[in-house]
């Protein structure tokens, strides 16, 4: 089993708050999305790969569990691991932590499918990407 990889460091800005003074859901999702793109890079799913292979990734399921609120000025860290990888799909888990004490603010469990852009049909990952994803499999700490 691997360790989680840091995929995003950021801050909660006052303009990202909701009416209750907490990090708004839309900005929480955006921070997880930035973590996803950084994890894709770790796997070899780079912009150059997508352009050259004519492929893309599509999120088909995303489940977020909110554990605590984040407020303006708090620093956040997204850590990401692979839960499972199959021929055409990958499931990753993001953990959003408050940097000051490491407390988990939210989890994001995301299922993505690799597909051809022109046909929109799923396509197997290249072997090197599947192998790299297998190296980054983590135990699910939520269980």
Q: What is the CATH number of the domain that holds 74?
A: 3.10.129.10
Q: What is the pLDDT of residue 31?
A: 98
Please report whether residue 141 resides in a domain. Answer: no
**Contact predicate 110/61, CB 8 Å:** yes
Please report whether residue 143 resides in a domain. Answer: no
Q: What is the pLDDT of residue 143?
A: 78
Q: What is the pLDDT of residue 140?
A: 97
Please report whether residue 84 resides in a domain. Answer: yes
CA-CA distance, 71 to 67, in Å (whole number)?
Answer: 13
| 131 three-state secondary structure | helix
Q: What is the pLDDT of residue 86?
A: 98
**Contact predicate 92/130, CB 8 Å:** no
Please report whether residue 26 resides in a domain. Answer: yes
Total count of domains within the chain: 1
Residue 120 lies in domain: 5-135
pTM above 0.75? yes
Q: Where are the beta strands (DSSP E) in the chain?
A: 5-11, 55-66, 75-85, 89-98, 104-116
Q: What is the pLDDT of residue 74?
A: 98
What are the 10-residue block averages of pLDDT along the chain, 143 residues in total?
Answer: 97 97 97 98 98 97 97 98 98 98 98 97 98 98 90
Please report whether residue 86 resides in a domain. Answer: yes
């Amino acid at each position: 089993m691997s360790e989680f990889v840091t995929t995003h460091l950021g801050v909660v800005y006052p303009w990202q708050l909701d009416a209750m003074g907490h990090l708004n859901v839309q900005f929480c999702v955006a921070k997880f999305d930035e973590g996803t793109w950084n994890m894709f890079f770790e796997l070899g799913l780079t912009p150059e790969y997508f352009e050259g292979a004519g492929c893309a990734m599509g999120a088909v399921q995303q489940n977020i569990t909110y554990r605590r609120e984040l407020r303006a000025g708090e620093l956040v860290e997204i850590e990401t691991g692979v839960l499972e990888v199959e021929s055409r799909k990958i499931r990753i888990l993001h953990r959003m932590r408050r940097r000051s004490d490491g407390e988990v603010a939210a989890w994001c469990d995301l299922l993505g499918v690799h597909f051809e852009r022109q046909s929109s049909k799923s396509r197997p990952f290249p072997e090197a990407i599947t192998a790299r994803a297998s190296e980054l499999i983590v135990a699910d700490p939520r269980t």
